[in-house]
Structure 1
């Protein structure tokens, strides 16, 4: 019986160590992206950006589609951090959000998004243009 208990404790310690090493290997990077959005009911967006991760720069493609009340056009420039990635490709994926907003001229933007790989974008920046929206939208990032 003592051998079984010792084995359980050993397996638990090993699982804890593996989890700690796995969490420790996740890192942060910085990102800057430019998104141009336009639409009337159905909207589309596209753009580009750069991920800086572990001393290297990775060019990004940005795309997206929204459905709902969208009218107008805008350009948004965002900068911030990418958290919880182990490799540059972890930033690739779809980041979904729903929301409402309006911009006339310049407006500040702050957003936190997560993708299916667990990457977390914490972004802030500025939006220029005339756009009104009440929509569901998805932002897709991919390495070029």
Structure 2
């Protein structure tokens, strides 16, 4: 008959532990993002553009800019759409996202990428790239709310 109080104590302890762990992750939320990025370069490249974050029923205009270093030649326009996760407020999307990559776009091409910033926001994006661009580079993309 001592098993019932022990079981009840374990259940209470388990419930308390779950209650302590879940609130830390339960508040993180997500939204949807669209970015239009123009990229051009010769060895050193640059990018700039704009976008929109949709979070909790509101739309937040975004600005993007960045630098590429490596083998970069040409120019392109990329429209990316996708999900942003692990954010608590719209400003969590702001920051610098880094990537290493290689690609070739002649005319139209498909692009997909997953990026993370210093605040832990995760962007899962895919879309279409148009232009003539060859690259093997390290790049950084900064996103700010306008």
Fold in common (TM above 0.5): yes
Distance 1:141 1:13 in 2: 40
Once the two structures are superposed, residues 27-53 of structure 1 have per-residue CA deviations (whole angstroms, 9 ceiling, x without a partner) of 110000000000000000000000000
The correspondence of residues 15-54 of structure 1 with structure 2, limited to 5 A, is 16-54=18-56
Where structure 1 has 5 or more consecutive residues not aligned to the other structure, the ranges are 1-5
Once the two structures are superposed, residues 86-137 of structure 1 have per-residue CA deviations (whole angstroms, 9 ceiling, x without a partner) of 1000001111000111100000001111111111100010000000001000
Task: Please say if 1:66 is aligned against 2:68.
Answer: yes
Where structure 2 has 5 or more consecutive residues not aligned to the other structure, the ranges are 1-8
TM-score, normalised relative to structure 1: 0.89
Give secondary structure in 1 for the equivalent of 2:118: coil
Aligned to 1:135: 137
TM-score, normalised relative to structure 2: 0.88
- Deviation of the 1:22 alpha carbon: 1.8
Distance 1:78 1:57 in 2: 16
Aligned to 1:115: 117
CA radius of gyration, larger in: 2
Distance 1:14 1:114 in 2: 32
CA-based RMSD of the aligned residues comes to 1.6
Kindly report structure 1 stretches of 4+ aligned residues shifted beyond 2 Å.
Answer: 12-19
Q: 2:88 aligns with which of 86, 98, 104?
A: 86
Query: Number of residue pairs matched?
Result: 136
